[in-house]
Amino acid sequence: MTGHDHHHDHSELTETQLRVRALETVLTEKGYVDPAALDLLIETYEKKVGPRNGARVVAKAWADPAYRARLVKDATSAIAELGYAGRQGEHIVALENTPNRHNMVVCTLCSCYPWPVLGLPPVWYKSAPYRSRAVSDPRGVLKDFGITLPAGTEIRVWDSTSENRYLVIPMRPAGTEGWIEERLAELVTRDSMIGTGLPKQP
């Protein structure tokens, strides 16, 4: 990739597209940015960092009780054991779902999200409907995802107002006894680690 990979017809360039390109050109010409660094940043978050990282963390927690204990006690260190750390994941807290408690993560004020384990957030996570309703009507939000929890389940919503980042550890689905971590990880969906979904059924 080069710094200017806009391969469309020029008439299709939107106003924002044009402004972004103009600014990138100015910054490159002035030597403030190295286009190769930009490409590397994009590649990192488009290809390398994503919810597969978090799925590995969750699967390991499901399979390895000692790891689970470390994760719940100090998620930042336990997650770093697997090589995931850094930007927007400097301080991570793992939230355990139980039969009586379901955790959901939101950032009402902006879009805070645990990048090293989940990648960049989806559009809905950053949207006004999610940010406005997750704290006041989480069951209504879950319904938007097709999920209904028992009426008595405690719903605990975590609003990411500081640099703390939250990762939900969903409950391990029944029928997966004896599965290896790699296979378990395939059950862990992104949404189940935000709290708007449940893991896949085996």
Partner 1 sequence: MNGAQDMGGVHGFGPVEPEPNEPVFHAGWEKRAFALTLAMAMPGQWNIDMSRFARENRDPGEYLSMSYYQIWFAALETMLKERDLVSDDETVAGHALREPKPVARILSPGAVAQVLYRGGPTERETNTTPAFKPGDHVRAKNINPRTHTRLPRYVRGHAGTIERVIGFHVFPDSNAQGAGENPQWLYTVCFDGRELWGADGDPTLTVSVDAWEPYLVPA
Q: Which stretch binds partner 1 (CB under 8 A): 27-35, 57-65, 66-74, 167-175?
A: 27-35
Question: What single string gives the DSSP state of each residue in 3-71?
Answer: TT---S-GGG--HHHHHHHHHHHHHHHTTS--HHHHHHHHHIIIIISSHHHHHHHHHHHHH-HHHHHHH
Instruction: Give the count of beta carbons closer than 10 Å to the beta carbon of residue 191.
Output: 20
Tell me the C-alpha distance between 5 and 150, whole Å.
Answer: 49
> Is 112 known to be catalytic?
yes
Query: Which one-letter DSSP state was computed for residue 161?
Result: -
Q: What minimum distance in Å lies between the beta carbon of 96 and partner 1?
A: 14
CB of 63 to partner 1, least distance (A): 26
Q: Is 32 an interacting residue with respect to partner 1 (CB under 8 A)?
A: yes
Is residue 127 part of the annotated active site? The answer reads no
Q: Dig out the tokens for 197 from the structure.
A: 């979904």
Both tokens of residue 165? 């980042």
Among the listed residues 82, 139, 171, 173, the single contact to partner 1 using CB under 8 A: 139
Binding of residue 25 to partner 1 (CB under 8 A): yes
User: Is 11 a residue of the active site?
Assistant: no
74 lines the binding site for partner 1 (CB under 8 A): no
162: annotated active-site residue: no
Answer yes or no whether residue 186 interacts with partner 1 by CB under 8 A. no
Give the shortest CB-111-to-partner 1 separation in angstroms: 7
Scored b (16 or more CB within 10 A) or e, 35-65 reads eeebeeeeeeeeeebbbebbbbbbbbbbbee
Binding of partner 1 by 70 (CB under 8 A): no
Stretch that binds partner 1, among 52-60, 90-98, 169-177, 179-187 (CB under 8 A): 90-98
By CB under 8 A, which span of 55-63, 66-74, 136-144, 167-175 interacts with partner 1? 136-144
* 147 binds partner 1, rule: CB under 8 A: no
CA–CA dist 138, 81 (Å, integer): 33
182 near partner 1, judged by CB under 8 A: no
> Could you say which of 77, 110, 132, 136 is catalytic?
110
Query: Which residues form the catalytic set?
Result: 107, 110-112
